[in-house]
Amino acid sequence: MIPSCLNLQLTPLFPSPFLSVNRLSLLPSSTFPAFAAKSRRLAFAATKAPSISTMAAEQGNAGNLKQKLAKLFQLSLEATVPGEPDIEPLVAACTAKFGDYQCNNAMGLWSKIKGRPGIEFRGPPAVGQAIMKNLPQSEMIESCSVAGPGFVNVVLSKNWMAKNIQKMLVDGIETWAPKLSIKRAVVDFSSPNIAKEMHVGHLRSTIIGDTLASMLEFSNVEVLRRNHVGDWGTQFGMLIEFLFEKFPNFEDVNETAIGDLQAFYKESKQRFDVDAEFKDRAQKAVVRLQSGEQMYRKAWAQICEISRREFDQVYQRLGVHLEEKGESFYNPYIPGVIEALTNQGLVEESKGARVIFIEGINIPLIVVKSDGGYNYASTDMTALWYRLTEEKAEWIIYVTDVGQQQHFDMFFKAAKRAGWLPADDRQYPKASHVGFGLVLGEDGKRFRTRSTEVVRLADLLDEAKTRSKAALIERGKAAEWTEEELEQTAEAVGYGAVKYADLKNNRLTNYTFDFDQMLNDKGNTAVYLLYAHARICSIIRKSGKDTGELKKTGKIVLDHADERALGLHLLQFAEVVEEACTNLLPNVLCEYLYNLSENYTRFYSNCQVVGSAEETSRLLLCEATAVVMRKCFFLLGIKPVYKI
């Protein structure tokens, strides 16, 4: 539920996002208390925001096994220890042979109630027995048992499992989507700098951010996919002056005229470093740009547009969708935000700069530099304010490398001091930094070309597609397929391999970029998974049956142990997506997808599909597996292939 204060229809403080800093300084100081008032209202509401788990439990979830069982155990716990407050059912999937799920409350509950008058239990096993006895009757549970120190093991009904898989096939995979408590989130990802080409360093932010956004969207959250590009720094004075010098009729300039934008940037930077007169002109150009001088604003817009079109080519190849709101968008709002923070007593003078001191950190957060200019902290604080008050986001997620962790930690703490965010990180609205490690080369160092340059992302994608196409040709596909089919499959497999090799790792760790490993068709790779999906589709085609009709007339049966194991794994999809969303860990979904493929392989190896007495049921299990795999691919930004 969105806090009431964030439902206000707030009028933007400034009429245009392109007002200059100098013009803003002319606004009456009476305008600025609006920021402080909104900040105070935020502080009041934030402390009341519910946790994600509480809200999800209240709303229920059609596809989430763990939540369904948690509701049953909640009733059992209330009956076992009436009136005992704050007991949340601890339900987890089993890894042992005793059951499918386990309730682990007995030991913790015993430690709370032992020694109390009237307590008849004689230890955790007795508490576990009582929890099992008080569990309400449910068609989803086949049997229960108590093991060890009170662990309550649950075996799910295979008939109930089969019925729910079939229901998903009829009603669609969307019925298994998690239902999170929040309604709107901002995912801030990719964020390259204008006039610099996207390189391998942008790969992780773009891929991880896209997957997080997709998982949240699937979970019924409205996601604002924000590309916070660097388009308002001091380098623009340098770029604009170089543009004027090289192209007097700069308004007619396009990508072809400038050529390699990265080379253009390097050339202007070299000139800036060695030519004092040019440097002086460039520094003055920054002031003229920020003051809104028309010619400089037009040149800035021209450079941004050329750069933007280059970015868009990469995003199209990756299938990534973002909405650009760069640093320049927030610049007009910065003075008001700084003024409001100052009025709250948060901003102090220090060595000529204006700063916010953060408890526990020995360096302050500089929000106005000693020369009066703004920096990343100024923009980030303002962007957070805007996202909370104007865009009414309840969760703001920033996807950058782990090297920026201290910066985000400091500005999140400053926002808490301002009352914009609650002190408790489990409550909403909240801000989260999704850090990630480096992409390394085979030498264990930062991934670079042989000339020590950073690897251009476009070149990397070209190489992935080329290698993928070569492997397909080696398998004889050029003779079997049209050129279009070959190209499309090479792209799907090549780009998918690059994405999956990144996403399958815990994002906090570094990983080594290795084309040979990621394009291997064996092991935990996208190639293996895409081929597995194509094989399922091939089996269904060979049967000659219409799965659309089978969904309506057929029936799934899970009598074989491998059928049941596959069915259980399929049913765990919703809780895995929710875990990946809640903890912001795409690798959790990758692990699920790989294990699903392994479960399917065991099923297919031991359970004949086409021509068996159980053909209809097993074809429906194949279809359900393919449906879930395709949704996993979609969430990971990977295009499935249907034949190989």
For 329, other C-beta atoms within 10 Å of its C-beta total 20
CA separation for the pair 132, 126 (Å, rounded):
10
- Whether the CB-CB separation of 232 and 326 falls below 8 Å is answered with yes
Angle at 53 between CA 595 and CA 629, to 5 degrees: 25
At a CB cut-off of 8 Å and minimum separation 6, what does 465 contact?
Answer: 490, 491, 494, 495
Q: What is the largest CA-CA distance in the chain?
A: 91
Q: Crossing angle for the helix pair 261-274 and 235-246, nearest 10 degrees? A: 100
pLDDT band at 13 (very low <50, low <70, confident <90, very high): very low
pLDDT band at 54 (very low <50, low <70, confident <90, very high): very low
Pick from 12-21, 139-148, 445-454, 592-601: least confident? 12-21
Residue 78: is its pLDDT beyond 50? yes
**Exposed / middle / buried, residue 98 (Cβ in 10 Å: 0-12, 13-18, 19+):** middle
Phi, psi of 347 (to 5 degrees): -95, 130
- Whether the CB-CB separation of 407 and 377 falls below 8 Å is answered with yes
Strand pairing partners for 131? none
114: tokens are 């032992």
DSSP calls for 369-427: -TTS---HHHHHHHHHHHHHHTS--SEEEEEEEGGGHHHHHHHHHHHHHTTSS-SSTTS
pLDDT band at 9 (very low <50, low <70, confident <90, very high): very low
- Determine the pLDDT at residue 57: 40
Residues in the chain: 644
Q: What is the dihedral of CA 480, 482, 488, 494, to 10 degrees?
A: 40
The 3-class secondary structure across 111-147, one letter per residue, is: HHHCCCCCCCCCCHHHHHHHHHHCCCCCCCEEEEEEE
Mean of the pLDDT values across residues 245-264?
Answer: 73
Long-range contacts made by residues 117-125, C-beta under 8 angstroms, separation at least 24?
Answer: 123/149, 123/150, 124/149, 124/150, 125/149, 125/150
Q: What does DSSP say about strands 141-147 and 395-401: parallel, antiparallel, or unpaired?
A: unpaired
CA separation for the pair 90, 68 (Å, rounded):
12
CA separation for the pair 301, 307 (Å, rounded):
10
Identify which has the larger pLDDT, 8 or 138.
Answer: 138
- Determine the pLDDT at residue 32: 44
- Whether the CB-CB separation of 558 and 161 falls below 8 Å is answered with yes
Helix, strand, coil percentages for the chain (3-state, nearest 5): 55, 10, 35
- Whether the CB-CB separation of 356 and 346 falls below 8 Å is answered with yes
- Whether the CB-CB separation of 511 and 502 falls below 8 Å is answered with yes
pLDDT band at 447 (very low <50, low <70, confident <90, very high): confident
Pick from 187-191, 233-237, 618-622: least confident? 233-237
- Determine the pLDDT at residue 116: 77
CA separation for the pair 194, 462 (Å, rounded):
22
Q: Compute the mean pLDDT over every residue in the chain, rounded to the nearest whole number.
A: 87
pLDDT band at 38 (very low <50, low <70, confident <90, very high): low
Residue 432: is its pLDDT beyond 70? yes
pLDDT band at 446 (very low <50, low <70, confident <90, very high): confident
